[in-house]
Structure 1
């Protein structure tokens, strides 16, 4: 780059030409600390490393299987030397591949030449034609993407998501007995406990984790149109289906025996739908946490030295949950697009998947960022028990459900005078504020059995939480 700073037509310095490079997107800029782990699995460099990995293992596998006349298993030293191309893959490797691709104008062909350059030092120069043998580029790419996505899920996304779910379960257990007024349709409703409501989210998220943990990562290696045509032309006596199956499963993937030129990507669509669903449940947790903060059920613990608002010093804004909402939405948009796009390919091959899949890391990155923000947001919450208790005490009318249901039970048992229980409680409670004295006076005048009347007269909104605490104990992780 020239030492003279380039300028835009406006006269401003062209930041895009500065060194070190300035990131265009937030995942590689502002939020890189939270998403950098994905670079090892879903970046362009990681994709090239996986391509080298797949090509090397295919080379070794063909020799081990004696798939072609004259092939013999490699020595341990030769196998180690080839595999070192993967384990030592670094910035210099990335740069060399970029130079090769500038000539080949083909990323996978560049990988083939990159490996071929290193065969002489391993005494394998005579096997240079075996690199990328009978492969179409998509044989290498589909396996490379599958390995990268699998590692990203298992080594980066799932650990973060499990940590989040564990944090929600912990909060649920701590608040399992803390009574809280429910708000169905935004209106005061049958009380619950804060812990039980958090447990609902933990349970929902955990269920999605189980689906994601059960993902099948499929792969294929069967030639230009999925027929093993080139393979059988070269070696008709080899069981190429078995060679393909053992190779793919040996990589830790599930073998797809029937494809066109591309692996059909259905497994990706399934995974991305599950990830989107997790994101959306997480988004729901954010909106509920935000709403509870807004009505004072949660208090946010200020961060020492942090600014809540640039002009209103009293504020502590729920920025973690708002940030998470936005990033979950962006992730879902990308994952939904990927899932819809990848299941379609014109005839035996088109390239829409090639461009689409380069955004997998971005979709994962925004999800990981959302998870990170929710974990941090939850960690800065205190339960405002006094506010919760005051809200409950101000809404005795929510006991109307308990009273009219007990009246129904007594009517079923044959007690007289229990007619129209719902209507009688509606007249008492709808549109009226009911305090403890008025509710107990009403209960005393209903003619209930002594035991039922006593039980209901002792009931309070804070005590009307049913099995909420037990549900957390029984089903909590």
Structure 2
């Protein structure tokens, strides 16, 4: 970042900093961004740094008391009057706040607050403080969605659906089983976000510009006062390592990609041709001209929001591509604005999706009809021929495939096709009559039987589903527990800072 001393007044000339075009294109937007997103954190950081300096005997008792009062007055003034316009008098929000402090306590005392630090370590600490807040909010929304999907999976663990591959009916399953796959993907995203947060939650303060400082600062104390779990050790990495930003938005992007894919499935399932998912009236818009239409437009909005979130995440990571491993504006206010927008969009899509999941329902009769028309249970016929008729699977597959062709030609389904048709198809391949009775044949081609025999871990059978749901509930509880721990750590840090300040307040 630039470290040129700010001019005393905005001059509309290229001969004085800032040039008007630079002010309009860069400094003004940056000032507005910092004011909107980082001012409260900056004041908190100032208080913590001042307390730490006093504890290290780098500020006198009188100086820290005066500075804490000045910070309170500055906060009341800035927070009470609304956004301050950018005039060019001060280069950025840091110098603007410093000028406010000078107004209250004079140049000498105000200037001592900056002992041993730089805008480099300040800025990266502010970014991380904001990222922690954003991560906790979006993870809270994600936890809401996970819990909503688990509740729906519990309620519909036996509700028959037709599962699709390549856009075509494939096999019967249950809605709960399908949602289990969604739950696992969401839980993995929760883990990725937590992993990103662990990296974000390392404090850069004390790194100064690059190499720390000769002043006896207490980096661990500063981290504790600001609620970080530890320091980021290498001082060069504190201001150069952009992986905390890249890792965060890569994790958020994966979540958005999964949400968009789930929304696309909803759109497909609610189509007239498939029709196995039905939205409640509160999430259906009508046509202005076609009275029969029930448009499940939340699918489109969720898909769109997920795509926009992906785009914002890509904007952040693209901005970091091929940048030098040093302090640079490519990992500062401009690009983080894209990131904050990504968080805001992610919260919206998570909120909407949780509500849709709670209210949408499966039309099981339609799902069963689709399974029947598409012969989606015929895989189990082939499997049974292997188990009970002792055919090699290749031959069993040929019997089932020939039967499917015969049914298509005759307009029949597995529940209506004559048993003799099956028997003839079997004999043509196996060279003998089947031992499978007609009643057994009719049983094994039902979707209920198909699901019941698929009891391996992760399958849709009742026992396997019960085991999976128990694991999902435990994992969801861990997500909530981590959020509660983060909130408790934040409260403890606030109390720690308040206690430390109280020792210096008159």
Residue in 1 that maps onto 2:430: none
Q: 1:273 aligns with which of 250, 256, 263?
A: 250
Q: What is the rounded CA distance, in whole Å, between the counterparts of 1:74 and 1:453 in structure 2?
A: 96
Taking a change above 3 Å as real, the CA distance of residues 444 and 151 of structure 1, as seen in their structure-2 partners, is same
Structure-2 change in CA distance of 1:260 and 1:149 (3 Å): closer
| 8 Å contact kept, 2:302–2:349 | yes
**Contact 1:302–1:380 at 8 Å: present in 2 too?**
no
1: CA distance, partners of 2:147 / 2:81: 39
Identify which of 348, 367, 382 aligns with 1:388: 367
Equivalent of 1:150 in 113, 132, 147: 132
Alpha-carbon distance between aligned partners in 1 of 2:404 and 2:51, rounded to the nearest angstrom: 78
- For residue 335 of structure 1, the aligned residue among 302, 308, 313 is 313
- What is the Cα deviation at residue 352 of structure 1? 2.0
Change (3 A) 1:86 1:162: farther
Give the corresponding residue for 2:180.
199
Aligned twin of 2:118: 136
Higher helix share: 2
Distance 1:74 1:336, change over 3 A: farther
Query: For residues 130 and 419 of structure 1, do their structure 2 counterparts lie closer, same or farther at Cα, with a shift above 3 Å needed?
Result: closer
Residues 135-184 of structure 1 show CA distances to partners (whole Å, capped at 9, x for unaligned) of 22121111111111101221x21221111121122221211111122222
**Partners of 2:240 and 2:220 in 1: how far apart?**
14
Q: Is the 8 A contact 2:124 2:239 kept in 1?
A: yes
Task: Identify the match of residue 309 of structure 1 among 287, 297, 321.
Answer: 287
**Equivalent-residue separation in structure 2 for 1:475 and 1:89 (angstroms):** 55
Mapped pair 1:92 → 2:80 = yes
Give 1:427 shift.
1.5
Confirm or deny that 1:474 pairs with 2:452.
Answer: no
441 and 108 in structure 1: CA distance in 2 versus 1, 3 angstrom threshold: farther
TM-score normalised according to structure 1 size: 0.76
Separation in 2, partners of 1:353, 1:267: 10
Q: Is the 8 A contact 2:286 2:293 kept in 1?
A: yes
1:53 maps to 2:44: yes
Residues 195 and 416 of structure 1, relative CA distance in 2, 3 Å threshold = closer
- Cα drift, residue 360 of structure 1: 2.1
Partner residue in 2 for 1:7:
none
1:298 CA displacement:
1.7
How do 1:16-95 residues align onto structure 2 when only pairs under 5 Å count? 44-66=35-57, 68=58, 71-72=59-60, 81=69, 84=72, 91-92=79-80, 95=83
Unmatched 5+ stretches in structure 1: 1-41
Task: Specify the alignment match of 1:37 in structure 2.
Answer: none
Write the distance in 2 (CA, Å) between the matches of 1:128 and 1:76.
Answer: 10
Match of 1:256 among 190, 208, 232: 232
- Tell me the CA shift for residue 223 of structure 1: 4.8
TM-score, normalised by the number of residues in structure 2:
0.72
Instruction: Give the aligned partner of residue 376 of structure 2.
Output: 398
Provide the aligned C-alpha RMSD in A: 3.2
What is the alpha-carbon distance in structure 2 between the residues aligned to residue 406 and residue 206 of structure 1? Answer: 35
1:306-385 alignment, distance < 5 Å: 307-342=285-320, 345-346=323-324, 348-354=326-332, 355-385=334-364
SS at match of 2:227: coil
Aligned match of 1:424: 399
| 1:293/1:299 contact within 8 Å kept | yes
Q: How far, CA to CA, are the matches of 1:74 and 1:273 in structure 2?
A: 47
Matched, 1:117 2:119: no
Deviations 1:163-207 (A, max 9, x none): 112112222121111112222222222211122112211221122
The structural deviation recorded for 1:227 is 0.8
Question: What is the CA-CA distance between 1:442 and the residue it aligns to?
Answer: 5.4
C-alpha distance in 2 between matches for 1:416 and 1:208: 44
Give the distance between the partners of 1:328 and 1:417, measured in 2 at CA: 46
- Aligned counterparts of 2:111 and 2:300: Cα–Cα separation in 1: 55
Change (3 A) 1:169 1:416: closer
Would you say the 8 A contact 2:50–2:64 is kept in 1?
no
Q: Are 2:67 and 2:101, in contact at CA under 8 Å, matched by a contact in 1?
A: no
Q: Shift in Å at residue 292 of structure 1?
A: 0.6
CA contact (8 A) 1:52 1:85 kept: no
> 1:87-131: CA deviations, max 9, x gaps?
7575336545x46x63112221112223343447xxxx8632321
